[in-house]
Structure 1
Amino acid sequence: MIAFLPQLFFLPGVFIVSGGIVGLIIGWFKLREPNYSLEITKEHIVYHHRRGKWRIHWDNIQRVDVPRVTKGIETVELEMLGFRLKDSDTFLDDISMRLITHLLLEQRPLVMHNVDPNCATGRCYGDDMIEDETYTRQDGTQVKGVTAMFGNRMLKLKERLGYDVFISTNELDRSPQEFIQLIKDCQETLIQQRLSNQSG
């Protein structure tokens, strides 16, 4: 088609065709994204990603909030939502391997939030950027591979930021505070339902 264009329109034709190809590629990647990122059921919160999903049982959620870090003398909220878990081992059983691999790369900036007081920027590289390939569960069994690396990453992030699992606030359909309130309301409703079932 471009070969038949007059010389004057050749370069604009190349740009239009290139733009169309880029648009098709972006559209194809958008179609691969799940329709929603979080699903709330009576038993779980399920996070959907094109590389897999994870699931947290309601009984395993200790706290949900926006993590904060100290930069100099001020405290800054991260654009993430953190889930603090009661038992991280059960979470490791409910996450897909492809998603683990993706999250290990995606969460590198979170690891760089250093607690070293000599770090002026708060984003200094530590000597622990690469995770250990062996993870010991609470029952004493050892896990190896990417699951072990992710388990160690969760421990490290829990120590530094106070949470085990993180999702970007961009993936929420409402403000982080509204979502946190929704989670609290769901937990309260589940507790009330269980109490009424026990008394009834």
Structure 2
Amino acid sequence: MKTRYIKPLTAKPRGILLLLSLSAFLALGLLVFWFPQINSAAVALLLLAAVTLLIIGIKQTQDPEVSFTLTFMHLQFHSPYGGWLARWTNIAEIGPATVAYQGWHQPIPWVGVRLKEYDEFLESICPRIASKILMEQRALLIMAYRRAEHPPHHIEDMLFDDRHYITRSGKTLKGLLAMLANRMKYNRELLGYDFFISEDLLDRPTDDFVGLTRRYLAAC
């Protein structure tokens, strides 16, 4: 299987903002030169807007253009804050995420990933990415909890479970990584998957992405 790159659905303007900010600085300089009597408060506001555009443009040029890389060995996520990596041999299932309610499964715009074991995945994640996953995907667990006829735990216990997690090698994970490991167990119990990929990060519908990843799974 050849290497494939998945880009976010919404492309960022990147260089356009840099160009706009530089143009704003030039226009501001000409404005002050030709009209020295211009109100200083107006100049300050225009300067603030130009600086803001410049900062946003610089930040966006530092963001990765690719959100996921699929190789014959692994699926890898990229972001400005870090990423994660899951080998195909450690992925048990990838599928469209759904929420069950009264016997029906309602599709949601997420792709679910279920792992064979957590250790390797958790070791590939920095605390910042763990925090991002916990915050962005908490709504999915709350939704599943509210629609469950007999929830196995209290929602507060699932959302804030920071009990230490012991890996198979005997390593003790604490803090955000332990919370992520515990959250993944609750996700699997209520949603069938350990963590999820938002459709916003994909350049194609979730079903197409699932089909693509399953071809890599079948080939490994």
TM-score higher than 0.5 here? Answer: yes
The yes-or-no answer on 1:186 pairing with 2:216 is: yes
Aligned to 2:156: 127
CA contact (8 A) 1:47 1:54 kept: yes
1:6 to 19, 38, 42: 38
Of 67, 86, 97, 1:37 maps to: 67
Task: Tell me, yes or no, if the aligned pair for 2:112 and 2:197 is still in contact at 8 Å.
Answer: yes
CA distance in 1, matches of 2:76, 2:147: 37
State the TM-score, normalizing by the size of structure 2.
0.70
Stretch of structure 1 that moved more, 58-67 or 105-114: 105-114
CA shift, 1:83, in A, is: 0.6
SS in 2 for 1:95: coil
Matched, 1:27 2:57: yes
Per the TM alignment, residue 37 of structure 1 is displaced from its structure 2 partner at its CA by: 0.9
CA deviation digits over 1:47-80, x for unaligned, max 9? 1111111111111111111211146786432222
- What is the SS of the residue equivalent to 1:79? strand
The reply on whether 1:166 has 2:200 as its aligned counterpart is no
CA distance in 2, matches of 1:65, 1:144: 29
Deviation at 1:21, TM superposition (A): 2.7
1:103-182 equivalent positions in 2, closer than 5 A: 103-116=133-146, 126-128=155-157, 129-138=159-168, 142-182=172-212
> Does the CA-based 8 Å contact 1:66-1:80 persist in structure 2?
yes
RCO (CA 8 Å, sep 6+): is it higher in 1 or 2?
2
Q: How far apart, in 1, do the equivalents of 2:147 and 2:128 lie?
A: 35
Aligned to 1:102: 132
Q: Which structure 2 residues correspond to residues 71-90 of structure 1 after superposition, within 5 A?
A: 75-90=105-120
- How far apart in 2 are the matches of 1:16 and 1:72? 56
Query: 1:88–1:164: 8 Å Cα contact kept in structure 2?
Result: no
Q: Which runs of 5+ in 2 are unaligned?
A: 1-28
Q: SS of the counterpart of 2:215?
A: helix
Residue 96 (structure 1) shift: 2.2
What CA distance in whole angstroms lies between the structure 1 residues aligned with 2:173 and 2:136?
22
1:25–1:75 CA distance, 2 compared to 1 (3 A): farther
RMSD: 2.9
- Greater Cα offset, 45-54 or 65-74: 65-74
Q: Tell me: CA distance 1:71–1:64, structure 2 relative to 1, closer, same or farther (3 Å).
A: same
> Is 1:63 the equivalent of 2:85?
no
Percent of pairs with identical residues:
29
**Equivalent pairs, count:** 183
Q: Which runs of 4+ in 1 moved over 6 A?
A: none
